[in-house]
Structure 1
Amino acid sequence: MQPYNKSLKLPSRDLRNNMTDAEQLLWQRLRRKQILGLQFYRQKPILNFIVDFYCPAANLIIECDGGQHYTADVLEADRVRDEALSELGFVVLRFSNRQILAETDAVVEWIYCVARLKLESP
C-alpha cells in the first residue's frame, strides 16, 4: 500500500461520488480489469494527492485534466505533483477531458500500451 495523508480519505470518497463526465467515461473502460486484467482504483489518495486513477500492478497513474489545469499556477502544481509521484516510481499519464470524451479509444489504447510496457520491463 502506498503512503497517503489519512485526511484525504473523505475527500477522495466525495470525488468518487462526483466524477466528471470524462472520468465516468474512462472509468467504464478501466473498471473490471478490462485492460490486461489489471485492477484500477479511482480517486485514490497517494502521498498528499488524490489521483484520478491508479493501477498498483503497473505503477501507473492516470489524470483527467479539466480546463482549470491549463493556468500557469495549476500547470506548475501539476508538474511538482508529477515529479513527486515519479520519484516513487509511478508513470503519470495526463489526458484532457476533451481528449477523453472525443478520442476515447485512442486514450484507452495509449493506456494499454504504457501498462503493457510497464509490466514487461524489469
Structure 2
Amino acid sequence: MNNHYNKQNKQLARNLRNDSTPAEIRLWSDLLRAKSFYGYAFLRQRPIGNYIADFFSKELNIPLDNY
C-alpha cells in the first residue's frame, strides 16, 4: 500500500524536512522518532496526493497534521 504517495512532490517534501520549524523538530526528536510513540513508526513530510503530511504513520493510516 502506497497511501497515494506522490513522487512529484518528493523534492518539496525533502525541502520541508530540511527547513523544519523548531516545533516540528522537537515533536519529531522527542516523541515520534524511533517508534517511541506507542510503538508506531512515523514518516516526516510525506507526499500524499496533492498534499504533504507533516507526520504520517503507515500503521495508523492517518496523517498528524496541525496537532
User: Structure 2-normalised TM-score?
Assistant: 0.88
Tell me if structure 2 keeps the 8 A contact 1:39–1:56: yes
TM-fit CA distance, 1:2: 1.4
Distance in 2 (CA, whole Å) between partners of 1:16 and 1:38 is: 20
Question: 2:43 corresponds to which residue?
Answer: 41
Q: Which runs of 4+ in 1 moved over 6 A?
A: none
CA-based RMSD? 1.1
Letter in 1 for 2:35: K
Q: Which runs of 5+ in 1 are unaligned?
A: 64-93, 96-122
Question: 1:23 corresponds to which residue?
Answer: 24
Which one has a bigger Cα radius of gyration?
Answer: 1
TM-fit CA distance, 1:60: 2.1
Higher relative contact order (CA 8 A, sep 6+): 2
Q: Which runs of 5+ in 2 are unaligned?
A: none
TM-fit CA distance, 1:3: 1.5
Distance in 1 (CA, whole Å) between partners of 2:18 and 2:38 is: 26
Letter in 2 for 1:24: I
Partner SS state of residue 42, structure 1: strand
Letter in 2 for 1:55: S
Percent of aligned positions with the same letter in both sequences?
42
Question: 1:13 corresponds to which residue?
Answer: 14
Q: 5 Å matches for 1:87-102?
A: 94-95=66-67
User: How many equivalent residue pairs?
Assistant: 65
Higher helix share: 1
Tell me if structure 2 keeps the 8 A contact 1:4–1:48: no
CA deviations over 1:1-57 (Å, ceiling 9, x no partner): 112332101000111111001100110110100012110000000011101000110
